[in-house]
Amino acid sequence: MVAPKLRSLSIAVLVSAACAACVEITSVAPDPAQPGDHVLVGVSNILGPSFLEPGARLRFDGTTRSLSPDTSSQVGFNLPAATSPGSHLIEVEDQIGLIEILTVIYLFRDHDDSRILEVTAPPRVVNMIPASLSGETNQDSEPFLSIRPRNPALLVGSAFTPNPNGAGSVTAPIFVSTNGGNTWSLVNSVPSQVQTGDITHAFDGDGPVRGTLYAGILRRPAAAGSTTTLDELSIDDVTSAGPMTLLSSNQNTDQPFVTVATVGGRDRVYVGNNEAFDAAVRPNTATIDLSLDSGATWNSVRLESRVTFNQDAPSVRASVARDGVVYAAYLHRTNAAGVNRTTDVVVARDDAGATGATPFQNLLDGGDGLAGQRVVIGVNIPFINAATLGFERIGSTLSLAVAPRQSSTVYVAWCDRVGNGDIYTMHVRRSIDSGQNWSNDLRTITNATNTALAIADDGAVGFLYQQLTNAGAANARWVTHLEQSRDAFVNVQDTVLATTPANAPASLGLPYLGDYTYLIAQGSAFRGVFSANNTPDVANFPQGVVYQRSSNFTTNTLDDGARNPVAISIDPFYFSVQVMP
Amino acid sequence: MKWQMRRPALFTIALLAAACAAPRAAPGDPADWIGRASFVFTGSVDSIGTTPETALLSEADAVIVRIETVHEKPASVRLSEGETVAVQGGGAESLKPGTRATFYATGEAYGRTLALRAVGYEVDDGPIEAHAAKVKMLRSAANDAGLRARAHSAAAVVVGHVTSVQAARESNAIDSEHDPEWHVAMLDVEEGLKGAKSGENLRVRFAASLDLTWARAPKLRADQRGLFLLRKPSDSDDYLLVDPDDLLAVDQAERVRALTAGGR
């Protein structure tokens, strides 16, 4: 009689022990999760959480939390706001208890379990105007963005934003964020009277945490006798009041566009620009100002290998891959009549980072054999320095991006007028053989401008642009898109960042939104900037938006922080969107 | 004897106290400060410390001032009574909590709050109305000095009207968004305050471009009347008008005449 009872008891003990020792994660919610979420992890050994032994632990991203055996079956923790998107491991480890020891079952069962938690970051749009400038009504157009690669929490933004101190100021401001773009401050550190003309910038790739920021600006006022003055600057700590250090200065030059690559501890600085106002340089005016020694010495490299009709268009863009291969794109003029400019889109390449004696000569055109492959020949790019696309001018829109880990893949985007009733049409093309051959249009966007391309480490392409819808109508809108693709835009993920009224506010000058925007692929996210009407209306920002300045999303109005109304104006917006899966 | 023995000690203490106390005012002249300041406010030192905005710029402590009255500030800036601002520089760091002063400052960092750099301050417990009146008087004097200097540096100061406007050269010779698009206005002088006489016709070059580089430069049109402070560039026979402060309403003529009377 006893034996069967003992046998039954033994079986029960063994089953219980096996289950008790078999700790496992039964659920994780939410999954995927977003930074800031409270994550609930279901932990069970079937007999219940109270069977967890003292010392049971949960680990996430290197942080260990105790699992109390007295808790419910769910263990919660807050996902830190700084958690990066991607796959993260949740680990649970139990301790060996008395039953396991008695039954020696611990030798055969795991005492830990793990589960992958996918962390995603939702698209984020932030109005960059700080709270203390809630009364500002400037036309903060033509935004730009830099991110410190070694410390992606450190960002610099810029726009046509004046120094709030007013007319007597000898410096212009930049926007600085030290928390990954969540909040921004304005710091007056750029040596230019009140504000700059064009301004772009880029961080170096290594060095101290705060690194070196290089900037190219059109200084105000220009030097005596010059129409424009391009100053190339640097600053070793963008969070300081500066001012930035002057590295080089060129006269009668337009639209500086800064790109930086750090190789062997030295910064290669490429500043695309156009020396159109310099009679000694015309007609071949597309230029890269080049420094290979962290800004100590500079050389102006003429990109144009063909004779132009008077000049190249203002935009000159460079993009550098990790292997040092650098591309440059420019708009070669072949004729002009009225506002129309007959133009070739040209891409040049240097396989050694432009370190040789004759830079940008590695890509020869398959037709005429000259340096610089013509992506397209003879398109019409009207140059109209007046409100044309809504309140925006047109005439020189260009972007270029090389895949950082695959320098044979390069994308270019430009705008022209195709003549089908369009005002300005955007085109995107791709080369997968280092710029020698180019696709047809992968994307064609009617009535759009302000394109910016970037390519993530894993090859996903980001394509930022602003499209005018219902042009000429009372309900015209500027719609800001970030498209992504992994297959040359056969399949596209489109994220609408903003859709804002195009007929308000009134223009205070040109550009209305900008002659360019910017996009950076940083880690697992595309991060960029655009300018738009700043009406605080959730309907205008489909991904949501955060305002620092005083705003009322119920009445769709702004105020100065003391309840005095503030007029709607153009503001810069920062955004981040996770790279598509 | 006992008293005499104490006197040196008390004197020393008094000297030390004087040395340690913050000066009643920063070195300099309020009339100069106001010319460099975009913020003028009266407030009391609340504490010594840092704010996110000052920490952004340096590790140095600032005086945190609670605003009593804002006399002047840029229109774009939010700053009200009861708020606090961080102030560095200009000797303001030596002010003790509780000290009431009028600060003349410029903005350095604009975030959730403000980080300002003092160009000067005056410690004063007087009525706020007196501070306000003084600031108003200083600003008026600074504005007059600025206009006087502007008129003195001009090649010609005239009341006149525009009779015609035309492009200065072929348009689109160079394509740049920043082309000033020079135009020439013919200006009939009604009254010459300096450098020109009534009845003269002057060629005045101005930037017609709407590019933000030039957007604030005066855009002249036919029949436009005003008080013109005209420059004479070395590379042109035309007068030049690009600074918005160089075009004033005609009713400012008497003020300019008074400010420039006697020459200098």
Contacts B209 to A, Cβ<8 Å: 385
Question: Residue A149 has what pLDDT?
Answer: 87
Residue B250 to chain A, least CA–CA distance (Å): 23
Are B177 and A255 in contact (CB < 8 Å)? yes
Beta strands B239-240 and B201-207: pairing type?
parallel
Residue B198 has pLDDT above 80, yes or no: yes
Number of other residues whose CB lies within 10 A of the CB of residue B237:
8
Mean pLDDT of B177-190: 95
Task: Note the ipTM here.
Answer: 0.89
B55: phi then psi, degrees, rounded to nearest 5 = -65, -30
The tokens describing B167, both together, are 């492009």
Q: Please tell me which residue, A169 or B90, carries the higher pLDDT value.
A: A169
- Smallest CA-to-CA distance from B192 within B242, B231, B243, B228 is with B228
Q: Tally the residues of chain A.
A: 581
Give A510's DSSP letter.
Answer: B
Provide the residue-wise pLDDT of chain A in tens; the chain has 581 residues: 445 665 665 655 555 554 444 677 888 888 878 887 888 888 776 555 556 666 778 888 767 877 765 455 777 888 887 776 667 788 887 776 666 566 555 555 556 788 888 777 889 999 999 999 999 999 999 999 999 988 888 999 999 999 999 998 999 999 999 888 989 999 999 999 999 999 999 999 876 666 899 999 999 999 988 889 999 999 998 988 889 999 999 999 999 999 999 999 899 999 999 998 888 888 999 999 999 999 999 999 999 999 999 999 999 999 999 999 999 999 999 999 999 999 999 999 999 999 999 999 999 999 999 999 999 999 999 999 999 999 999 999 999 999 999 999 999 999 999 999 999 999 999 999 999 999 999 999 999 999 999 999 999 999 999 999 999 999 999 999 999 999 999 999 999 999 999 999 999 999 999 999 999 998 889 999 999 999 999 999 999 999 999 999 999 999 999 999 999 999 999 999 999 98
Are B36 and A239 in contact (CB < 8 Å)? no
Lowest-pLDDT range of A421-430, B52-61, B146-155: B52-61
Is A548 in CB contact (< 8 Å) with chain B?
A: yes
Q: How far apart are alpha carbons A469 and A489 in whole angstroms?
A: 21
Is A467 in CB contact (< 8 Å) with chain B?
A: no
Indicate the pLDDT class of residue B3, thresholds 50, 70 and 90. Answer: very low
Q: How far apart are alpha carbons A228 and A511 in whole angstroms?
A: 17
Is A187 in CB contact (< 8 Å) with chain B?
A: yes
> Which helix (H) or strand (E) segment is A520 a member of?
strand A518-522
Q: Please tell me which residue, B159 or A43, carries the higher pLDDT value.
A: B159
Residue B231 contacts residue B195 (beta carbons within 8 Å) = no
In A, minimum Cα distance to B111 occurs at A185
Question: Residue A9 has what pLDDT?
Answer: 57
Question: Residue A20 has what pLDDT?
Answer: 47
Q: For chain A, percent helix, then strand, then coil, each to nearest 5?
A: 5, 45, 50
Could you write out the DSSP letters of every residue in A303-356? ---S--SS---S-EEEEE-TTS-EEEEEEEEEEEETTEEEEEEEEEEETTTT-S
Q: How far apart are alpha carbons A544 and A562 in whole angstroms?
A: 25
**Residues within 8 A of B (CB atoms), A 139-168 only:** 139, 141, 160, 164-168
Question: Residue B154 has what pLDDT?
Answer: 97
Residue B239 to chain A, least CA–CA distance (Å): 15
What is the sign of the dihedral through the CA atoms of B239, B244, B249 and B254?
negative
Q: Please tell me which residue, A49 or B221, carries the higher pLDDT value.
A: B221
In A, minimum Cα distance to B56 occurs at A239
Q: Which of A385, A389, A449 to mutate to test the interface with B (most CBs of B within 10 A)?
A: A385
Identity of the residue numbered A81: A
Residue B82 to chain A, least CA–CA distance (Å): 11
Contacts B78 to A, Cβ<8 Å: 131-135, 550, 560-562
Query: Global pTM?
Result: 0.86
Whole-Å CA distances, A99 to A94, A105, A106: 13, 8, 9
Are A227 and B176 in contact (CB < 8 Å)? yes
Q: Which of A126, A128, A132 to mutate to test the interface with B (most CBs of B within 10 A)?
A: A132
Residue A200 contacts residue A213 (beta carbons within 8 Å) = no
Q: Please tell me which residue, B175 or B211, carries the higher pLDDT value.
A: B211
What is the sign of the dihedral through the CA atoms of A16, A22, A28 and A32?
negative
Q: Give the class (CATH, top level) of B19-140.
A: mainly beta
Question: Residue A1 has what pLDDT?
Answer: 46
Contacts B176 to A, Cβ<8 Å: 227-228, 254, 274, 276-277, 314
Question: Residue A72 has what pLDDT?
Answer: 59
Residue B175 to chain A, least CA–CA distance (Å): 7
- Smallest CA-to-CA distance from A484 within A516, A448, A456 is with A456
Q: How far apart are alpha carbons A386 and A521 in whole angstroms?
A: 33
In A, minimum Cα distance to B58 occurs at A240
State the helix-helix crossing angle for B253-260 and B128-153, rounded to 10 degrees: 80
CATH number of B150-169+179-259: 2.40.50.120
Whole-Å CA distances, A569 to A320, A509, A533: 35, 12, 6
Scanning chain B, the segments in alpha helix (DSSP H) are 2-20, 30-36, 52-57, 128-153, 253-260
List the single residue in B80, B109, B180 with the smallest CB-CB distance to A185: B109
The tokens describing A395, both together, are 């005439």
Residue A322 contacts residue A404 (beta carbons within 8 Å) = yes
In B, minimum Cα distance to A140 occurs at B212
- Give yes or no on whether B19-140 and B150-169+179-259 have one common fold: yes
Residue B98 contacts residue B21 (beta carbons within 8 Å) = no
Residues from B contacting A (CB-CB < 8 Å) are 35-36, 38, 52-53, 56-58, 74-80, 106-114, 117, 172-181, 209-216, 235, 245
Per-domain residue ranges of chain B:
19-140, 150-169+179-259
Mean pLDDT of B110-124: 94
Residue B17 has pLDDT above 50, yes or no: no
pLDDT digits 0-9 by tens, B72-82: 999 999 999 99
Q: How far apart are alpha carbons B138 and B30 in whole angstroms?
A: 8
Residues facing residue B229 across a β-bridge: B157
Residue B211 to chain A, least CA–CA distance (Å): 4
List the single residue in A133, A508, A562 with the smallest CB-CB distance to B110: A133
Question: Residue B5 has what pLDDT?
Answer: 42
Are B56 and A160 in contact (CB < 8 Å)? no
Q: How many CB pairs under 8 A join A and B?
A: 154
Q: How far apart are alpha carbons A493 and A55 in whole angstroms?
A: 46
